[in-house]
Chains A and B, each alone.
Chain A
Amino acid sequence: MSYQSQISDMSPRERLAQRATAVIGLLTLLSLGFTVWLGLFITPPDEFMGNLVRLVYVHPPIAWVMFIAYGVAFLSTLLYLWPRTRDLRFDRLAGASSEVGVVFTGLTLISGSIWGRPTWGTWWTWDPLLTTTALLFVMYLGYLALRQLPGDPDARAKRSAIGGLIAFIDVPIVYFAVLWWKSIHQAPTVLDPLTGKTYIHGSMAYTLLLGFVAFTLLFIYLVAKRYRLAGLKDRYESFLLGEAIEDRKREAMPDLSGVYPDSVGNAGAIDVPGQKKRFSDPNVSVGYDAGLRPDQTDDYQKIGLQNNTGADA
């Protein structure tokens, strides 16, 4: 191990990951900025929806990221549960991806609602996709709360994995239940305001594509950062645990700091041949100097640790 890695808290692989994340962050910023600029100013307003179409550069990409976030979380959960690939890092990835997924679900609901108000005249409608998304939001909030419960990392990971599995399996059931519920009463709502068009062309098409790319990069960046945070948290916890263990050890054993001579040059109570003593006071008792408890001093004197009766005194 090099001197550098002894001092710094990152292994070479970690530093590479850090740098890659920074690069992705930069790319994200650039592509998002470009998307917003194109979306808001360069692309033309739609013939039917007017300026409202500009939300298409934001809302579908965000919904797309929400899906891949939960997909990644589910795959990591499965990988963690499968005994051959059981690794706490998969659990960390599942947690990171779920948290980002929750954020993007919230954003999907918000942007969808804002888009829906002028388009359909209402902030909310109980159609299958919206209802399932709202339920997804609450379910994964519960999953995140489950992850916060204290406990040792393996137990926590297993618990969260089962919770995540339950939540994910429920999603298609919810979707079909709501689908049948709504289809009995009304025709399925046309969710995507753009389905009337057969194709989008020109600047709108490549802005939309850029939007998807930009938000996917953002997803990768956010998950990488959150994953790093989870790793740091685990390391911090084991650090605290180590400290607590050391404290318990120190409490259990007597303090022998004054008994033996130390590296700086102070004399202890024990006679080491050739050791220059800084002070010698035959009247000071071993137990008092060495910080031993009163009931321990007799033992030490019994086994021959005397003060200053060596030849050098």
Chain B
Amino acid sequence: MWRDAFLVMQKDMKIELKSKVVVNQVLPFGLVVIFLFGLAIGKVNTSALVTAGSNLSNGGALKDASAGLFWLAVTMSAIIGVQRSFAIETQDQARDALRLSALDPAGIFLGKAGALLIQLAVLELVLGLCASFLFGMHIVTLWLFLLAALLASISLCGVGVVYGALASGARTRETLLPLLFFPVIAPVLLSATKACEAAIVGNPASGMIWIEILAVFSLCYLTLGIAAFGSLLEE
């Protein structure tokens, strides 16, 4: 299973490195979303234009919400990443080839999730830097933030690959993905936001319960994906 997973992951990463879709399209999308959040929510303190040393883009609401907005942007980019991950399978009947290749379906699931995870990690790095710049989000407890990001990303990838397999293929299916995806990962969004807020404030103790929720979630959905992916691939 792990060997197959590694194979599939390599394949997906190679395709991505060749086509650079995530880097060229999804990443700028995430950046634009973060920027738009700033426009929609941030209040420009006009007196700050006169006062020296004050930060133009930071209204109180924006800074308080920065972790949540960051995760919203990541989630939206993740959906597009999932769609891309399965779009490469619809060409040249690659999906059938995958099914017939006698690779372990659980391995295929883990491989696709793994490739998506790597892409999400790069996305989060860039978007995180952008958010801390634009929203004034300064992290005190970095390890908590990174741990939360890792677990949340694993959850997003797990659910994403399962739903991606369900919702890819015919045209009527693809618009189903956001509708299925967002409600299910709402607790991930909530927990990741809260954990990251704890990391920003510098209070690891309050963040641990959210880490636990994230861990439970990723465990549940990875297990579900491993068990169910075979039958999903079959149609």
Contacts and interface: CB of A to CB of B under 8 A. Distances in A.
Taking the complex as a whole, does A directly touch B, i.e. does some CB pair lie under 8 Å apart?
Answer: yes
Given A142-B179, A150-B172, A162-B166, A169 B194 contact: no
Contacts of A163: 166, 180
Given A145-B179, A173-B220, A151 B235 contact: yes
A141 interface: yes
A155 B194 CA distance: 39
Interface in A90-117: none
A20 interface: no
Contacts of A166: 159, 162-163, 184, 221, 224
Interface in A163-205: 163, 165-167, 169-170, 173-174, 176-178, 180-181, 184
Contacts of B59: none
Nearest to A151: B235
A15 interface: no
A127 to B, nearest CB: 14
Interface residues of A, number: 29
A168 B180 CA distance: 13
A184 B209 CA distance: 11
A184 B232 CA distance: 40
A142 B182 CA distance: 10
B230 to A, nearest CB: 10
Contacts of A181: 190, 194
A247 to B, nearest CB: 23
Nearest to B166: A159
A149 interface: yes
Contacts of A177: 187, 190-191, 213
B176 A146 contact: yes
Contacts of A146: 166-167, 176, 180
B217 interface: yes
A174 B221 CA distance: 14
A158 B179 contact: no
B54 interface: no
B179 A180 contact: no
A138 interface: yes
B93 interface: no
A142 B166 contact: no
Contacts of A149: 170, 172-173, 176
Contacts of B190: 177-178, 181
A305 interface: no
A73 interface: no
A135 interface: yes
Interface string A108-142: 00000000000000000000000000010011011
Interface in B174-229: 176, 179-180, 182-184, 186-187, 190-191, 194, 206, 209-210, 213, 216-217, 220-221, 224, 228
Nearest to B181: A142
Given A159-B232, A176-B213, A142 B183 contact: yes
B184 A139 contact: yes
Nearest to A136: B183
A176 B190 CA distance: 11
Which residue, B180, B232, B234, has most C-beta atoms of chain A within 10 A? B180
A184 B184 contact: no
A142 B176 contact: yes
Interface string B56-79: 000000000000000000000000
A170 B184 contact: yes
Nearest to B172: A149
A138 B183 contact: yes
A169 B221 CA distance: 9
Nearest to B159: A166
For A139, A143, A151, A162, the residue with the greatest tally of chain B CB atoms inside 10 Å of its CB is: A162
B231 interface: yes
Contact of A159 (B194, B213, B235): B235
A99 B176 CA distance: 17
A159 B221 CA distance: 16
Nearest to A140: B183
B71 to A, nearest CB: 13
* Most B-side CB within 10 Å, residue of A150, A174, A177: A177
14 contacts: A135-B186, A145-B176, A146-B166, A146-B176, A149-B172, A158-B232, A159-B166, A159-B235, A162-B228, A167-B184, A170-B183, A170-B187, A173-B216, A174-B187
Given A141-B179, A146-B180, A158-B235, 4 more contacts: A138-B182, A149-B173, A159-B166, A166-B159
Interface of B: 159, 162-163, 166-167, 170, 172-173, 176, 179-180, 182-184, 186-187, 190-191, 194, 206, 209-210, 213, 216-217, 220-221, 224, 228, 231-232, 234-235
Interface of A: 135, 138-139, 141-143, 145-146, 149-151, 155, 158-159, 162-163, 165-167, 169-170, 173-174, 176-178, 180-181, 184
